[in-house]
Structure 1
């Protein structure tokens, strides 16, 4: 893989859930995803085998793990081991979150590529 240098705002976003869009940057062994939550948007309860680390950049993201709500504010972070069931929501101001996944979420790569193909 060659080095990549991208402006995140130039990466086309794809829908993760209604009102939740991600702008992914894929490496060989890891990826990051800048996620924009519209006000009040939610990501339903789900699980994946990937380790997930994140930082809230703007607004408040609430992660729900084992039925417990964990508010994450600007410049606060989290680590979710693979296999942990979780959901997310945000408040009335929306939120911007940076997520990192290891290994790469190939489902995201495929969905993003399909979205780019449709745009051509």
Structure 2
């Protein structure tokens, strides 16, 4: 069976950014049915509205700083921080400065494809 590079690798020039709300956009970096890696770019002041989903989510603050709320607890997180969200917990973010989150979801968020 022949496997193409696109089955294993995503290069920056191949990313497709989708605007999700004013000041926010996302790009699916890699995925399989059991897992997905997604980049979320935020302008300063942009909001990732409170929401929940049945996926486990782990997020890494790659750039900037965010006010993060998970299950009613709010914390300011600088670059280099991370947070985890169990399935169905309400969570959201506010970008305290321009920033980038790298999120992993399990299983994959089919609604992002």
Shorter-chain TM-score above 0.5? yes
- Report if aligned partners of 2:70, 2:85 keep a CA contact under 8 Å in 1: no
Instruction: Look up the match of 1:88.
Output: 93
Aligned pairs, number: 107
Moved over 4 A (4+): none
Q: Which runs of 5+ in 1 are unaligned?
A: 110-120
Q: Is the 8 A contact 1:8 1:23 kept in 2?
A: no
- Determine which structure has the larger helix proportion and give its number: 1
Give 1:74's match in structure 2, choosing from 73, 79, 88: 79
Q: 2:56 aligns with which of 51, 55, 62?
A: 51
Contact 1:22 1:33 in 2 (8 A): yes
Which residues of structure 2 form unaligned runs of 5+?
A: none
RMSD: 1.4
Aligned mate of 1:20, from 13, 21, 24? 24
TM-score between both structures, scaled by the size of structure 2: 0.86
**How far has the Cα of 1:9 moved from its partner?**
4.8
